[in-house]
Amino acid sequence: MENTCFQLAPRGRCAGQLDPPGDKSMSHRAIMLASLAQGTSEIGGLLASEDCLATLEAFRNMGVQVHWLAPGRIRVHGAGLHGLQAPDTVLDMGNSGTAMRLLAGVLCGQTFASTLSGDASLNARPMQRIAEPLQAMGADIRLCAAGTAPLEIRPGTTLHGIDYVLPVASAQVKSCLLLAGLYAEGRTCITEPVRCRDHTENMLRAFSCALEFADQRVCLQGGTELKATEIDIPGDLSAAAFFIVGALVSPDSQLTVKNVGINPTRAGVIEILRLMGARIDIRNERNYGEEPVADLVVTSSPLHGIEIPRNLVVDAIDEFPALFIASACAKGTTELSGAEELRTKESDRIRTMVSGLCSLGIRAEEKPDGVTITGGRFGGGTVDSGGDHRVAMAFAMASLAASGTITVTGTEAVATSFPGFVDTATQLGLAFE
């Protein structure tokens, strides 16, 4: 992959109207469940990023017919739970941990062998967290010695339901096991230590799968057939978060974000920014199926440092690169703890973000499970994104509060989640050189 960079002049703006791309997490899940359902489904608002297209291609390789009706809208002819065909190649999930972990749950219930792999970054991420409970369900899934992909999955005995307590809150592990539970005999129940994103549960219900809930526990009965439906995917709050922070830290800016998902298990970024003094108004609340959606009006705001509440960490885990930029622009010190999961993302996001902040003149210190950031003024300089799409987009926003040009290297991965990022940012006022 060609090494690319962003170069941004200081003191741009972030104002106007943002129509964020479709939610990446929901796009993956919609493709998967539509492929496993009985009948023909239509999905609107689909994110056509490299990550989601990898998921789509995997199901095409297993015999699922997909037709593009318009940009962002597809028709999926579901194969049913037991209608997938053996792929004739390794299933390449690119850079997507969501795709690999969720699809592993599906593949463990098939009667054919398969192999899941990805790029160098994905093949370095931990997969033991899904392999152990899948093996406890009876799956024959094998990892590399380091506990990483490629994952080899072989047809074994019939899966059986499991009553599993997640050692660490993880929507990907929970979702993987629920999808495997569709193929298992008996009930599969997952208990979370703290609530984490529930897009899989919402989408399973949209495809007519009955679930039982009690406190932080969800159960489903194996063998439940999914029924085709029509899904509209909200705008991605994780993608919008960069521009929300950009509008907050650039002077005299107001940004309207349209049709964005505000699922409470994902909206921690809004709560954290409001605690820092951000003016974010939520308007026109409504639902897309099971998912809450709204418009946001974001106005430039003087931010102040806070101790980020631990109960909001899981609900904002993907948005911390953007939140670190907000913290660097805030008056005082921001403390984050309980976020060790950031070290296992596309990069070690604690180390990569701290290194970048320091290179631009901000005081930032690593902790094993978080950071301490003292607000200041960004200077110019060069930042290595570590090939991490969210880090790259976050440091683009730093240019809005910088005194000199900022160059961000390793930005090619941005296409995995937000292929139109540069065009969108330019239209809103960022000054790409």
**pLDDT value of residue 40:** 98
Give the 3-state secondary structure of the chain. CCCCEEEECCCCCCCEEECCCECHHHHHHHHHHHHHCEEEEEEECCCCCHHHHHHHHHHHHCCCEEEEEECCEEEEEEECCCCCCCCCCCEECCCCHHHHHHHHHHHCCCCCCEEEECCCCHHHCCCHHHHHHHHHCCCEEECCCCCCCCEEEECCCCCECCEEECCCCCHHHHHHHHHHHCCCECEEEEECCCCCCCHHHHHHHHCCCCEEEECCEEEEECCCCCECCEEECCECHHHHHHHHHHHHHCCCCEEEEEEEECCCCCCHHHHHHHHCCCEEEEEEEEEECCEEEEEEEEECCCCECCECCHHHCHHHHHHHHHHHHHHHCCECEEEECCCHHHHHCCCCHHHHHHHHHHHCCCEEEEECCEEEEECCCECCEEEECCCCHHHHHHHHHHHHHECCCEEEECHHHHHHCCCCHHHHHHHHCCCEC
Per-residue pLDDT at 2: 54
Q: pLDDT (tens digit, 0 to 9) for every residue of the chain, 433 residues total?
A: 456 899 999 978 999 999 999 999 999 999 999 999 999 999 999 999 999 999 999 999 999 999 999 999 999 999 999 999 999 999 999 989 999 999 999 999 999 999 999 999 899 999 999 999 999 999 999 999 999 999 999 997 799 999 999 998 899 999 999 999 999 999 999 999 988 899 999 999 999 999 999 989 999 999 999 999 999 999 999 999 999 999 999 999 999 999 999 999 999 999 999 999 999 999 999 999 889 999 999 999 999 999 999 999 999 999 999 999 999 999 999 999 999 999 989 999 999 999 999 999 999 999 999 999 999 999 999 999 999 999 999 999 999 999 999 999 999 989 888 989 999 999 999 999 8
pLDDT of residue 1: 43
Establish whether domains 5-22+234-428 and 24-232 are of one fold: yes
User: What is the pTM (predicted TM-score) of this model?
Assistant: 0.91
Structure tokens at 154: 């072989």
Residue 15, amino acid: A
Pick the CATH number of 5-22+234-428 from 3.30.1490.20, 3.40.640.10, 3.90.950.20, 3.65.10.10: 3.65.10.10
What residue has token string 């037991």?
A: 82
Q: Which fold has domain 24-232?
A: UDP-n-acetylglucosamine1-carboxyvinyl-transferase; Chain (3.65.10)
Q: What are the domain boundaries of the chain?
A: 5-22+234-428, 24-232
pLDDT computed for residue 392 by the predictor: 97
Residue with tokens 């730093």: 398
- Whether 215 sits among the annotated catalytic residues: the reply is no
Cβ atoms of 80 and 107 within 8 Å: the answer is no
Distances (CA, A) of 130 to 44, 165, 413: 30, 12, 25
Q: Which of 232, 315, 318, 388 is catalytic?
A: 318
Cβ atoms of residues 82 and 11 within 8 Å:
no
